[in-house]
Amino acid sequence: MALYPQTSFSAPPGATRITLVRHGQTEPADLANPFPLKHGHGDPNLTELGEQQAVKVADRLVNEAIDGLYVSSLIRTHQTAEPLADRLGHEPTEEHDLREVFLGDWEGGLFRHMLADEHPAALEFHRTYEWGVVPGAETNAQLIGRTSGALTGIHERHGGEHIVCFVHGGVIAALCAHTTGAPMTGFVGADNCSIHRLVLTPERWFLRSFNDSTHLGGVMTPQAVIDTPA
């Protein structure tokens, strides 16, 4: 008599395993001294807490078989990747299209002020989690298209490999929404230096885990009602 035991998930041959890591905590916004801009995007550094979080994520991942590291074009992902890159001896590859959502007129840290000040567009963002309500910002659809295209390119270059990508909260929400077909509102608030696992094949993508932050211990970022980019 044939038996059919329950089995666990196994990545199909040629699939790319993607580990997404959100960057560590960044500097507070100061309207008197806006964040420097890179390609129009606010580009703050990590705080001391953010640097500690980066070490914790390196501790977590260093013993995994990792074939390559990617970072966005913004400095906070480079700084977060550095402890793991140093231990592995890998030079991260920069992928510009993995950068955070473009906040238009509210770049440079102004977005955080508008949220705190309860600007009408900020309240609408709270209600819908649609980035396009911010004046001049990317829409959700544009963000999903840009970031999923970048990850598709990584999959095409790294079939059968495990790649770690250091990215941003909005990017994580966009990629998880693209993978599952769910709205981005379901993936709001990824913790700083949290881990998210995807498996990519030409036919479909799989979300294997979201917001794993068990490695952070006592270096968690203080929580708010809703997280903010940069």
List the domain boundaries for the chain.
16-102+139-216
With contact defined as beta carbons under 8 Å apart, do 205 and 179 qualify? yes
43-95 confidence digits (pLDDT tens): 999 999 999 999 999 999 999 999 999 999 999 999 999 999 999 999 999 99
Weakest mean pLDDT among 27-31, 90-94, 142-146, 179-183: 27-31
pLDDT for 224 beyond 80: no
Confidence of residue 221 (pLDDT cuts 50, 70, 90): confident
CATH number of 16-102+139-216: 3.40.50.1240
Residue with tokens 């040629």: 14
Q: What is the largest CA-CA distance in the chain?
A: 76
Q: Which residue has 């592995």 as its token pair?
A: 88
pTM value is: 0.95
C-alpha Rg value of the chain to the nearest Å: 18
230 has a pLDDT exceeding 70? no
Q: What is the pLDDT of residue 1?
A: 86
> What does the alpha-carbon distance between residue 86 and residue 58 come to, in Å, rounded to a whole number?
9
* Beta strands per DSSP E along the chain: 16-22, 37-38, 41-42, 68-71, 93-94, 162-167, 195-200, 205-212
Contact (Cβ atoms closer than 8 angstroms) between residue 81 and residue 166: yes
Average pLDDT value for residue range 100-124? 95
pLDDT at 158 over 80: yes
Q: Which of 27-36, 129-138, 185-194, 218-227 has the lowest mean pLDDT?
A: 218-227
